[in-house]
Structure 1
Amino acid sequence: MKLRFLLAVVAAPTLALAQPPVPTGAEGNPTTAPTPAPVDADEARIREIVDREIARVLTERAAKEAADKAVREAAEKETATTVPADKDPDLTGASGFMDTRLAFTLTHENILAKPGETIPSAPGWRFGVPNSLGVLFFDNYDTRFSGFETLNHAVAYRSYSRGHLQAEGAFVLRIQELTETNIALADAGTYITISNWKDPTHKDPTRISLTAFPVSSDRFRLGYSYRLSWGGSPEYRRSRSSTPGVKLQYDTNGFYGFIGAKSSTLVDPNDGELKGAVAVLAGAGIDPMPNVRLEVNGGYFDRGYNELQDVQQEKVQLFGVSAQASINNGMSPRSSVDYRLYKYNGERVSPLFNPEKYPGGLSWLAQAEFTMLGQTLKDPGAIGDTVIQKGYAGDVNVRVKKDRIRLRADLSFRDLAFILHSQPSLPPYSDFPEEYKVKPNLFAAIGFDKNWGDWLTLGAIVGVEQPATLTSEKGIPGDTTMTSKSTAVIRNNNIDTLITILPEGKSAAPQFAVKGSGKIDFGRIYTVVLEVFYSYDPNQSRFEREGDDPDSSNFKYVFGEFNQLGLNATLQCRF
């Protein structure tokens, strides 16, 4: 109606100009008598012209819309077959940095000792990363990191999903700053995963997936607690090449199963040539009833030929099995963050450092694990023979949350053969001689903390550890300072194996430790942590000259400072 009125207004002046001249005799031209035109005829003519103009405009508009639609459909058809990779709606992901950990720490590992009175030495007050004395035996039980590192991860991640198919790939590079000029670069689990999902929306977890690790398969491990894990890259510590691997896994509600393999190259001591060494891994888990999970995994590792001369024709073969039972109420079974694969989606790069949630009420989790290993090593009692050295480990971990209070308890057992299985053994590549006396590592710790208002957390933990030891009547292999009875205290902190030799004729004793901590969270990703700890470790020793003459005096081991009072104050940023 508005269009009809508008066209009428536009057409009216034209019609007026088209009227015939005033006849002679009309007003203003009196020579001719007027002959007025009929009013009805003029209105009909105007209506006809308006209708014709409206029809023309509508026709042109329809033609234009049809042409635009044809062009648009042609463009969409062309785009559907030639969509650039970065514009494909099925292809997602991004590249960038994630799992960034910044830590600025004021530390003193032992205020009660002077530099040189402990092994390792406590340098005094300083800014930097604490050495192993500043990390107690119950710290970081389920991770390879101490929490004081400054590091980052460069991740290039892409995911393609269409229907039941999903393909993922990520290049993951860990960048860890050690000093101003020393930056460690390492692969942190680069992978390619291809999955076939039962449900294209992924609401049903049923799928079969193939994950390939082109560079490092260290995240593909056996065991469950990180402290008790095995089958990672340390099993091929002699290799200078990468350790790629592959895993085929089936997941569904209440069940998973996998089989996989990894390999490396090792120098054959018989001919000096590089030769391949392959490992096979498998495992499964099932939820037989609500809140209960049973898991088992195991593997076989070809670790190359023995380096000892009389058994160089024999291979070092590692094999074993791990099992875990979990029971929970409102708290899901946990797994080490160091087993996870990195995904960068450009929006929320990582839930690794989400603040702890306190939903209220009571929830708890209890997990028990046991591992048994076997490894073919030289038989120290027979020339040219090998023997299977057996190693055992186990733990019990309990976590309880009641409103804003958390409780934890850890019990752990590792015998010396398990602790040293990656070396392997001591002396390397040989079982322990019969005259050696070995004792396992045992520790227990219990702790609690309470949170106020999602920003302040105060807690404490206390623990006792009996370190693993090796005692020899003829001195420790590799040590030239003692030839009589001596004892080596052997510790492992998830990364390094630390050996402390006690003074001649002395035995190891339990270590006691307690730590109090306060944590303030702010800005969601920022934290201030203060730790004050005390330890009584009667297994501390150090080197000392027997006399004053540096040319003729030998070194000997003497006890160091047993009491340790330390402090770590850290400003952290994690995102």
Structure 2
Amino acid sequence: MRSSFLLSFVFLALPGVAYAQPTPPPTSTATTQPTPPGQTTPPTAGAGAGPATGAPATGAAATDTGTPGNTGTPTAPGDQQAATTPPVDVSGTAGARAAGTPPPGASEGRGFMDTRLTWTFGDDDFLNKTGTLIPLSPTFSVGERSQYRLFFDNLNSRFTGRENLTHLVMYKKLPGFIDKLTTEAALVLRFDIGQLASNTGNLNSAFYDTGSYLRLHYQTGPTEKEGLSAVFFPLDTDRFRLGYLYDLSWGGTAASINQSIFPRLQGAAPGLKIQYDAEKFYIFGGFKTATIIQPEQVLSPGGENDVETVRVGETNYGFLAGAGVDPLENVRFDIGGGFFQQGKFDLEDVRGKNVYTYGGSGRVVFHQGMPVPQSVDFLLYRNDPQKPLILFKPEKYDPNQFAFSLSAEIDWLQQQLKDFDVAGATREQSARGAAVQGVVRAGYLRFSATGIFRELNFVVRNVPGFIPFETLPGSAKTDPELFGALALDYYFPSLHLTPGIGGGVQLPATFRSEFTDGGVPA
């Protein structure tokens, strides 16, 4: 048994509002008045993402700009109150966020956003001396450890929240030459400071692309949200996935964390996504490409009809599509499906045959007073000073409000693998996963519960197979992974403090195989 102690402080977290270089100032020498924050347009959702909540548009305080001579016209009480209200100090970051304006330095080209700095002190196994158990657990120290992550940590994100990282987002948005056409581009680079400080020399794991894109959007309705968009991913499409809860999502390309649908992936996997958004529904389709090392038969040089097998990088495709609809104000239905080529078998009796995975995902959400759940790792990063993107909006508690969000999801995959029991044959093997999640907020109290079911085949869906590229033996017995997690927190407004507690129970997936030795079970 391992017992852990963990103390973590967030010293600096700047993920709340994203800003980049604003539009250059006009060339006129005349002094211009800034646009009141209350007149800014709220942010719109990104392509392929759920609606992103913008910063509150708080109107600036009114000031008396009349002539020095009093005309004798009586001033309305509301005007007197506005005149005496001190203006918001936007010289600091906090004041700028409150006013909904770009923070200091935004006009100087500071393109960093979603910055997280944490200080962690702990020991992941303080009851046992170092070296007595595997994995090894040094005594109390400062710094993040992989053993700190529990199975219920941040189920809807690839991160635990204890990482030290930042993102450089160089973003630009301009109107197109065609009326109602808008063009966008963003170079998104992630700096993993913790990985960089480990001095492993692996620069690829510390500095990498995390969703750079080009986007065209043609507005077809009265609001900017409604329209047809095309998102071009020139480098990587890991943010373009199927599934809804991050821990159940599939079709990703993050090979470094074993979350790539393309085995033996070489380099990145660029692609394209086309989506149409309406007021009550959306529909999308797209594809991604990947270079996979696979066996190919070619004629031997200088030989006569001699064939040899070589292993080369070949292009494989993945196709994705989906839709969602809000039949009622508080109800959402989502559905998606995909087909992914995964190279060719390199096993002796099935070498050269195609490997592939296809399947679908579905979700239903009931919500009131809360938005539809959306993982931040699926969003497009926008560093727009005029429409700030809020990635980690602080929870707002209302003592008189009752809000909730209930969701249920199912994912079903079929994978073409070598038949373990029949030589030279292949067959499809299913892999299923499901999740139920609920969040309730009553006054200052918030409670969440999550239950997840994953078959063994679904856990290893990206290998693919428990035995790589092979089905389970017919005599094997497996148990699915089951776990549940609970979390509770309470907000104390007078202290500006929100303590919380969480826990869970996990029954891991298991594999059992029986065989006989001379007729005796072994």
Is the shorter-chain TM-score for this pair beyond 0.5, marking a shared fold? Answer: yes
CA RMSD of aligned residues (A): 2.1
1:456 alignment partner in structure 2: 497
1:39 alignment partner in structure 2: none
2:326 alignment partner in structure 1: 287
Out of 216, 219, 227, which is 1:194 matched to? Answer: 216
CA 321–275 in structure 1, closer or farther in 2 if over 3 Å, else same: same
Matched, 1:256 2:282: yes
Matched, 1:146 2:160: yes
- Aligned-partner Cα distance in 1 for 2:455–2:358: 16
**Equivalent residues in 2 for 1:351-390 (5 A)?**
351-360=390-399, 361-390=401-430
Any idea what SS the aligned residue of 2:243 has?
Answer: coil
- Aligned-partner Cα distance in 1 for 2:512–2:198: 41
2:199 alignment partner in structure 1: 181
- Aligned-partner Cα distance in 2 for 1:151–1:264: 27
- Aligned-partner Cα distance in 1 for 2:162–2:220: 43
Out of 205, 218, 237, which is 1:217 matched to? Answer: 237
- Aligned-partner Cα distance in 2 for 1:130–1:340: 27
User: Any conservation in 1 of the 2:112–2:167 contact (CA below 8 Å)?
Assistant: yes
Aligned-pair CA distance for 1:310:
1.1
User: Any conservation in 1 of the 2:263–2:292 contact (CA below 8 Å)?
Assistant: no
Matched, 1:343 2:382: yes
- Aligned-partner Cα distance in 1 for 2:502–2:121: 21
CA 167–204 in structure 1, closer or farther in 2 if over 3 Å, else same: closer
User: Any conservation in 2 of the 1:99–1:350 contact (CA below 8 Å)?
Assistant: no
Please identify, of 295-304 and 177-186, the stretch whose mean Cα deviation from structure 2 is larger.
177-186
Out of 159, 183, 191, which is 1:167 matched to? Answer: 183
- Aligned-partner Cα distance in 1 for 2:381–2:367: 27
- Aligned-partner Cα distance in 2 for 1:99–1:414: 31
- Aligned-partner Cα distance in 2 for 1:117–1:286: 55
**Equivalent residues in 2 for 1:1-80 (5 A)?**
none
**Equivalent residues in 2 for 1:381-530 (5 A)?**
381-453=421-493, 455-473=496-514
Any idea what SS the aligned residue of 1:456 has?
Answer: coil
Matched, 1:206 2:226: yes
- Aligned-partner Cα distance in 2 for 1:111–1:444: 25
Aligned-pair CA distance for 1:130:
2.1
1:303 alignment partner in structure 2: 342
- Aligned-partner Cα distance in 2 for 1:148–1:330: 29
Aligned-pair CA distance for 1:355:
1.9
Out of 135, 138, 143, which is 1:128 matched to? Answer: 143
2:292 alignment partner in structure 1: 266
Any idea what SS the aligned residue of 1:236 has?
Answer: coil
2:119 alignment partner in structure 1: 104
User: Any conservation in 2 of the 1:95–1:344 contact (CA below 8 Å)?
Assistant: no
Aligned-pair CA distance for 1:296:
0.2
Which structure shows the higher helix fraction? 1
User: Any conservation in 2 of the 1:109–1:131 contact (CA below 8 Å)?
Assistant: no
CA 457–429 in structure 1, closer or farther in 2 if over 3 Å, else same: same
Any idea what SS the aligned residue of 1:310 has?
Answer: helix
Any idea what SS the aligned residue of 1:247 has?
Answer: strand
- Aligned-partner Cα distance in 2 for 1:289–1:231: 30
- Aligned-partner Cα distance in 1 for 2:247–2:395: 23
Residue-by-residue CA offset, 1:372-402 (whole Å, 9 max, x unaligned)? 0000000011111101010000000000111
Any idea what SS the aligned residue of 1:338 has?
Answer: helix
Amino acid at match of 1:471: R
User: Any conservation in 2 of the 1:247–1:260 contact (CA below 8 Å)?
Assistant: yes
Amino acid at match of 1:303: Q
Any idea what SS the aligned residue of 1:227 has?
Answer: helix
Aligned-pair CA distance for 1:334:
1.0
5+ residue gaps, structure 1, are 1-74, 77-91, 476-483, 486-575
Please identify, of 219-228 and 240-249, the stretch whose mean Cα deviation from structure 2 is larger.
240-249
Aligned residues: 385
User: Any conservation in 1 of the 2:405–2:438 contact (CA below 8 Å)?
Assistant: yes
Report the TM-score, using the length of structure 2 for normalisation: 0.71
Larger radius of gyration: 1
2:169 alignment partner in structure 1: 155
Aligned-pair CA distance for 1:198:
2.2
Residue-by-residue CA offset, 1:155-192 (whole Å, 9 max, x unaligned)? 11100125411111101111102125345111110001
Any idea what SS the aligned residue of 1:417 has?
Answer: helix
Aligned-pair CA distance for 1:350:
4.1
Aligned-pair CA distance for 1:348:
7.3
Please identify, of 286-295 and 218-227, the stretch whose mean Cα deviation from structure 2 is larger.
286-295
User: Any conservation in 1 of the 2:263–2:342 contact (CA below 8 Å)?
Assistant: no
Please identify, of 255-264 and 230-239, the stretch whose mean Cα deviation from structure 2 is larger.
230-239
Aligned-pair CA distance for 1:138:
1.3
Please identify, of 173-182 and 205-214, the stretch whose mean Cα deviation from structure 2 is larger.
173-182
Any idea what SS the aligned residue of 2:434 has?
Answer: strand
Report the TM-score, using the length of structure 1 for normalisation: 0.64
Amino acid at match of 1:296: I
Any idea what SS the aligned residue of 1:278 has?
Answer: strand
Aligned-pair CA distance for 1:448:
1.1
User: Any conservation in 2 of the 1:191–1:214 contact (CA below 8 Å)?
Assistant: yes
CA 146–191 in structure 1, closer or farther in 2 if over 3 Å, else same: same
User: Any conservation in 2 of the 1:120–1:131 contact (CA below 8 Å)?
Assistant: no
Any idea what SS the aligned residue of 2:247 has?
Answer: helix
- Aligned-partner Cα distance in 2 for 1:250–1:265: 29
Matched, 1:325 2:341: no
Amino acid at match of 1:391: A
2:270 alignment partner in structure 1: 244
CA 349–186 in structure 1, closer or farther in 2 if over 3 Å, else same: farther
Aligned-pair CA distance for 1:438:
1.3
User: Any conservation in 1 of the 2:346–2:352 contact (CA below 8 Å)?
Assistant: no
